[in-house]
Amino acid sequence: MEPLDSAVEFFTQLTPVQIGVAIVAFAFLLIGLRLIFKKPPAHLTAFSGDAGSVLVSRKALQELVRSACLLDEWVEAARPVIRVKNNKVTALVELRLTRPDNLKAVCERVQEHITALLQKSLSFDQIGEIQIVVKSFSNEAADLPDPADSEPEATSQLLSGNSSVNLPPADAEEEKQTPKA
């Protein structure tokens, strides 16, 4: 019974100001924990009409952004993270590029692909910042063609719903690198 008695004695010695401060601190703690552990919505509202709303899952949106990034031949791999900040869809995209040449132009093309996808295909009105983080460069950057010529065609393919990009077969790449006897 001693711990209970000591706890009661402690609380009876507190002034009303100290009790008020403790309550406010506890309320801020609860609000902070709620913000930390709040799960983001699984679906984003693309647009609403008379018949209802169209929702897009976060995973589907990430896959679409990844495919938009891979339309650029200089992008070897993409890992997008989609978030909603201040009612705007934002993207953080980590890229692995085939080579470090024309880094600015490649990143601008990728941002344009993503913006076109979000605005035209999915009708997202509120598009926030699209951040590109180049994580690495491929070692196979020697004999790749200049992809700047195929960029408008790739964007139109994505927007028309045809997300398949005509790439040379994998063994064609190996044949170029392996000298024939």
Asked if residue 100 is part of any domain, the answer here is: yes
Tokens (6 digits) for 146: 């200049």
Asked if residue 175 is part of any domain, the answer here is: no
Give yes or no: residues 19 and 60 share one domain: no
Residue 17: which pLDDT band, with cuts at 50, 70 and 90? Answer: very high
pTM of the model: 0.55
Cβ–Cβ under 8 Å, residues 113 and 68: yes
> 65: buried, middle or exposed (CB in 10 Å: 19+, 13-18, 0-12)?
buried
> What pLDDT, in 10s, does the model give residues 94-131?
999 998 888 899 899 999 989 888 888 777 777 888 99
Give yes or no: residues 33 and 48 share one domain: no
Alpha helices in the chain (DSSP H): 2-12, 16-37, 58-70, 103-116, 151-159, 170-177
> What pLDDT, in 10s, does the model give residues 55-107?
888 888 899 899 989 988 889 999 999 888 777 888 999 999 998 888 899 89
Residue 168 has pLDDT above 70, yes or no: no
Asked if residue 111 is part of any domain, the answer here is: yes
Asked if residue 177 is part of any domain, the answer here is: no
Give yes or no: residues 73 and 97 share one domain: yes
Q: Which of 78, 86, 87 is nearest to 131 (CA)?
A: 78
Give yes or no: residues 47 and 134 share one domain: yes
Asked if residue 151 is part of any domain, the answer here is: yes
- Number of domains the chain is built from: 2
Give yes or no: residues 135 and 100 share one domain: yes
Give yes or no: residues 67 and 30 share one domain: no
Tokens (6 digits) for 56: 């897009």
> How much is the average pLDDT of 159-175?
45
Give yes or no: residues 141 and 61 share one domain: yes
> What pLDDT, in 10s, does the model give residues 28-52?
999 988 888 876 667 777 777 888 8
CATH value at residue 92: 3.30.70.1350
- Residue 146 pLDDT: 52
Q: In which domain, by residue range, is 27 found?
A: 7-37
Asked if residue 178 is part of any domain, the answer here is: no
Which residue did the predictor score with more confidence, 18 or 38?
A: 18
Which letter does DSSP use for residue 120 in this model?
Answer: I
